[in-house]
Structure formats: C-alpha cells, structure tokens
Chain A
Amino acid sequence: MNIVVCVKYVPDATAERQFESDHTVDRVGVDGLLSELDEYAVEQALQLREKRDGEEIEITALCVGPEQATDAIRKALQMGVDKGVHVVDDAIAGSDSLATSLVLAKAVEKIGDVDLVMCGMASTDASMSVVPAMLAERLGLPQVTFASAVESQGEVFRVRRDGDTATEIVEGRLPMVLSVTDQTGEARYPSFKGIMAAKKKPLESWSLSDLGVDAEKVGLSAAWSAVEDTEARPPRSQGEIVTDEDGSGAKALVDFLASKKFI
C-alpha cells in the first residue's frame, strides 16, 4: 500500500506570529515547524503499518512550502516515514488553499499509485480545514475526514466523526483521502534511532514544472481571495485580580457579574 501524508510547515504558535507587508503569513522570519495537527496524521499512518504486519506499506511525507519546510518533512522522517517529497518553488509563495490543493493533488498524481492520502484536521496557522476536502474533489477520491478514531480491514476504512450535533460512523474504500483529528491519539516522539535513520532517507525536491503546474495558477497574484488588511488585536489589559479568603472571592465575583449586568 502507498500512503502519502500531507504535512505543512507552519510558524511556531508559541512564537510571535506576524504578517508580511503584503499580508501573507511570515514563514521565514518566525521559527517554523511541522504543524502539530499533521503529526497525528503521521502517527496514524505509522500505526496502520504496524497493525498490518506483513503487508508492504510505503509512507511518503509530502510538503509544499519554502526551503525551510524541509524541517517539517525531516520531522516526519524521524518519526518513521520512509521518504519525503518537497514541492518548492518561489512562485508558490502566497498561494491560497485552492492553489495549494492543486499543487498537492498534482504531486500525489506524480508520486503515483497512491492508495491513501492522509492529512491533519487543520493547519495551526490558517486553520481553514479545507485542503483535505479540496484534495478529494480534485483527485476524485472518497473523502473520509475529521476522523477521531480509525479502523480498517483490507480496503475498507471505518472512522468516527464527531460532528456538531451527532457522532457519525463513516465508511469508505481505498483509494481515498483521510483526515484525522487530535483525538486519534498522541503522536510519538522521534527516537534516537529514528533521528539517525532519517538522515539517510530519500528526500526529493520538485518544482512546479516537474508537476506540470503553470506558475501563473499559483502564488499570491493568482489567489482568489485578497486580504485587504491585517491588524494586531490590541492586547487585553489585565483587570482586577482578587485573592479568595473565606468566601470573599465568590462575593467579589458575584459583584463583578452584577456590575456588568450578567445577573
């Protein structure tokens, strides 16, 4: 079985995330890393292989992003993925989700004979959660998304999807696109052995022309939505903090609620 896990290189959420003057996300000036939510997809791919002892399964980490994005692929390789594919091209900078999904779809086609495309539930930067559905649409594959638990037998996958109003069990058959949530279980840390082994694993770098994607179709100028303005939210100023002593905290809390007309 051929599995491709899509991984995104994102600015560290604990750092000071910024926008560039053209309103695109600053992906160079801020420390980046493999999006935490994609680690769950890597983990589920690795677990699938472990469960299917004897079945030949190759796992590829696919990333579209700037030069530094190899860090995200390397992390996936260290966790246990077999090889990496990095689509890197200056023309890609500023791409919207539609262009990104186009590049990913073309890369999946070029990798070839892919049975399972896996994604995280969202990126931790734009957090749109739309790329897995767009990939399914572009590749003409079943979409089994937001899985919080995954079971499979042969080509049939059954997942639990916790919706707003109901919990659903969704079934699909390979080949398909599968996205998983953080509920699927903690992702492993790379072992020392994994870190050493990753250095020897193949990591290919592809440009847009390798994929046959017209550079005019991607990037900021081809984006179908335009940001007009980005504005830092004024920091919240700390209000009154009281220390509870023999019930004084509760009283002060109720007084505050009353003063704000919540009661």
Chain B
Amino acid sequence: MTEILVLVDHVDGAVRKPTLELLTIARRLGEPSAVFIGADASQAIESLKKYGAEKVYVVDDADMATYLVAPKAEALQQLVEKTSPGAVLISSNAEGKEIAARLAVKLDSGIITDAVDVQSDGGTPVTTQSVFAGNFTVTAKVTQGTPIITVKPNAATPEAVDGAATEEKVEVSVSDGAKTAKIIKSEPRKASGRPELTEAAIVVSGGRGTGGNFEPVEQFADSLGAAVGASRAAVDSGWMPHAFQVGQTGKTVSPQLYVAAGISGAIQHRAGMQTSKTIIAVNKDEEAPLFELVDFGVVGDLHAVLPAATEGVTERKG
C-alpha cells in the first residue's frame, strides 16, 4: 500500500490534535507514516500509534527547531525521495504552509493549501477548499509530482485505531543555506485553560461592542466550554492579543457554534468564521451586517445579555 507522509505538528513532543486528523485523512489515501522532527519522540509515538500511524520516521535533531522552516523542508524532501509517498499531508498553519511551499519547489510538485476536506479518488487526493471569504467551495487535485497538501484544523474527526507505529530513525543532512534564518528566542503561549481557538467546537468572540471588557465574553465561553476569539477591532484596540483574532489576517475557525458578541461583521471577519455550522450574534445595533448570516440573533447589550445567558446555561447544565 502507498505510504502517505504526515508531518507531525507538536509542542516539545506533545502531538497537536490536527496531526491526528491528518492521520485519519491519510488512512483514506493509503498507509499513514508520521514524520517526527525534533528531540525525544517517545511521547509522540504513543499518541501516533493510537491514531493509526503504521510507521514513525524520527528525525532526532533538536537543532532543527532553532531555524525557521527551511531545514524541515529539506528533511521532508529527503524522506519523500526515500519513500516515494502517495502524498504529503501537513497542518495548515503558517509554518506548515511554508514548509509545504519550499517542499513543492524542491520536488517539482503541485501544492494545495487550506484544504477543509480531503477524499480519495482511487488513492489520488481530492481536496475541498473554502475560498473568497467562504463564499465559494473549490474542489481540486494535484496533477504533477507528489501531492503536497496542507489541511486546516477540524477537516476530519480523528479516529482512534491502532497502528504499528514502527519507529525508524532517519538521518538527514541539512545544508548551511537552510540555517540562515535563526530563531533566537521562543516564548510559548501561556495556556489559557480553554480549548485552542482553531480546534474548538464552540467559539465565543468579542468585538468593539465589548468596550474593552471581555469578562462577559470569557465567562459565557467558559459556561459552554468554548474558546475565546476577538475581532480585529478588539485586537487593534489592544484589548486582546493577536493570537485570538478571528478573520482574514487572524485565525480561520469553523466550529459547530460561533457566537459573535459586539462584532458588526466586516467581510474580513466573516472570512474567518463564515463556514461555522451555527452562528449566533449579540449586538446593540440591529443594522449590524453579521445579523444577515446568523441562525439566531439577539439585538441587545452584550453586557446584559451575556451574563444572564451565562447564568441560564450554568443552571441548565446543573
């Protein structure tokens, strides 16, 4: 069976959820082989095994993490040349897309980014993308070389299935040219205790209407077990860090439920949330454009509506 390479996205060995989704997608296309780049793969191998990885290629190189993108692309190139996989799947975040970009140039292969679904047409990956602020759905295929595909979070539900997860250590050579952009400092984001924004089933976002007070948004989010997001206006005002921004230049989310509080709904914001399954808006301004696409809307002050709703949700959950 054809191998499908999945680049493991991890934080100090802890595998991130989108990688498990990639393993599930890889099983539709062939036999999933995970590629772990970094130091100490043992914890990762445990998780990868539970989600169907048949092989785990381990590039045990802590040094690689101190350079931006290029060394990982070189490592993957060498692995692709060694294994001739049916496709390479990578998480669609900034780093993942850039690794894919360089890999595509190196391998003379086609690239598709930001897939929200990948299905198999006789082993050939067929991707679905959501484009133009979510207004169009595009299906596409790579027609040259090894398909290199980056996949967005939540594109599949990770299926727990045992794999052999046979570890194979791989030596790669990294050129000096790939070590020219050095990461001189890395500060991990503080854990908020809430779900990751791009992975959450429910997202509650606040905008200009919060007036800088995110407490009602955060408490409502916590009552639902949701992630917290923010509009660009709220981020530009310094009320929330950029990592929480939903929209064209922030995160794209596609949760089961998206609640927008005090967000008017500019096209740039809609681009980041329009494909959410269910959308709710709370806004004082009944003319807010976001009301046009909601499943449910409350015209009212979020500072009154959200605390009361938080109480209501907490009571029902009892």
Contact = CB atoms under 8 A, between A and B. Distances in A.
A227 B139 contact: yes
Contacts of A181: 249
A257 B223 CA distance: 12
A152 interface: no
A101 interface: yes
Contact of B109 (A141, A144, A224, A252): A224
Given A224-B144, A238-B294, A170 B300 contact: no
A113 to B, nearest CB: 19
A176 interface: yes
A162 B242 contact: yes
Nearest to B232: A182
A182 B306 CA distance: 31
A225 B105 CA distance: 13
B134 A233 contact: yes
Contact of B243 (A97, A134, A137, A162): A162
Interface residues of A, number: 84
B316 A171 contact: no
Interface string B110-142: 111110000000000010001111111111111
A249 B135 contact: no
Interface in B91-120: 93-95, 97-102, 104-106, 108-114
Contact of B97 (A101, A128, A232, A242): A128
B127 to A, nearest CB: 9
Interface in B258-310: 267-268, 271, 274-275, 278-280, 282, 286, 291-301, 304-309
Contact of B95 (A96, A163, A176): A163
A129 B304 contact: no
Given A239-B297, A249-B300, A263-B313, A230 B106 contact: no
A165 interface: yes
B68 interface: yes
Contacts of B307: 250
B183 A169 contact: yes
B161 interface: no
Interface in B49-85: 68-70, 73
B248 interface: yes
A170 B97 contact: no
B189 A243 contact: no
B192 interface: no
Contact of B94 (A37, A129, A131, A241): A129
Nearest to B297: A241
Interface string A224-250: 111111111100101111111001011
B313 A228 contact: no
A256 B280 contact: yes
A124 B291 contact: no
B105 A134 contact: yes
A33 to B, nearest CB: 14
Given A129-B97, A166-B186, A243 B286 contact: yes
A171 to B, nearest CB: 5
Contact of B257 (A23, A161, A225, A262): A262
B177 interface: yes
A124 to B, nearest CB: 7
A233 B138 CA distance: 10
B286 A170 contact: no
Contact of B184 (A19, A133, A165, A169): A169
B143 A166 contact: no
B308 A247 contact: yes
17 contacts: A13-B248, A98-B111, A133-B97, A162-B242, A167-B186, A168-B68, A170-B182, A181-B249, A182-B249, A225-B140, A230-B137, A238-B294, A240-B297, A241-B299, A244-B304, A252-B296, A253-B309
Given A134-B102, A228-B140, 5 more contacts: A98-B110, A225-B143, A228-B126, A239-B295, A253-B298
Interface of A: 13-14, 17, 19, 23, 37, 96-98, 101, 121-122, 124-134, 136-138, 140-146, 148, 158, 161-173, 176, 181-183, 223-233, 236, 238-244, 247, 249-254, 256-258, 260, 262-263
Which 8 A-B residue pairings sit nearest by Cβ, starting from the closest? A244-B300, A224-B110, A250-B308, A130-B101, A142-B180, A254-B312, A224-B144, A133-B101
